[in-house]
Amino acid sequence: MAQEDTRKIGILLFPDVEELDAIGPWEVLSYWTRNFAEDGWQVFCFSADGHPVTCAKGLTVEVHHAMADLPGLDVLLHPGGQGTRPQLRDEQHLEWVRSQRRAVPLMTSVCTGSLVYAAAGLLAGRPATTHWASLDRLAELDPTIDVRPDERFVDDGDLITSAGVSAGIDMALHLVARLVSPERARQVRRGIQYDPRPPV
């Protein structure tokens, strides 16, 4: 499949992003796209300026693109973390999110990434979720949101939100099932040996 025909998933990274919000979906999606290239998808990370990003717990991550040279996306993933808090008041970032909404067929978020979507007006009148500790904040940002406190992720067609941190793994597996097939998602799940069995 020609490079220009490959559909693209972009994961946004920013200072103080929660590591697993981004790296969990990256593990799922990169395993899928590398091992099943015939499906015709690729995934990459990007930041505002193309520079490495230091995450919430000190992990520093390189990126593949800056926003300025970002290829056209088919799916955008906006993670959460403490770094989303200033984004809620950053009109430049919120306008960028709105511009992506106009251009990207499928918008997704992990954890408090949905707060940014709410602040940008993307979740008005729609069902959504976020980290359990931020459910009230989600409702405050837009009282018209149908907040789903008990959902691991909420698929509302062209917009998917997930609960906190590790829930992004579940959401990413759902993405694989939706974009290809449940069988492919099962293959990826087995490949990364994701079978949660909490010790307590």
pLDDT at position 199: 87
pLDDT at position 200: 84
59-101 pLDDT per residue, tens: 999 999 999 999 999 999 999 999 999 999 999 999 999 999 9
pLDDT at position 85: 98
pLDDT at position 3: 62
Stated pTM of the model: 0.96
pLDDT at position 5: 85
pLDDT at position 107: 98
Domains identified in the chain and CATH numbers: 3-191 (3.40.50.880)
Low-confidence ranges of the chain (pLDDT < 70): 1-4
**Percent of the residues in the chain that have a pLDDT greater than 70, as a whole number:** 98
Catalytic residue set = 111
61: closest CA among 76, 81, 41? 81
Q: What is the three-class DSSP state of 45?
A: strand
What gap in Å lies between CA 150 and CA 147, rounded to an integer? 9
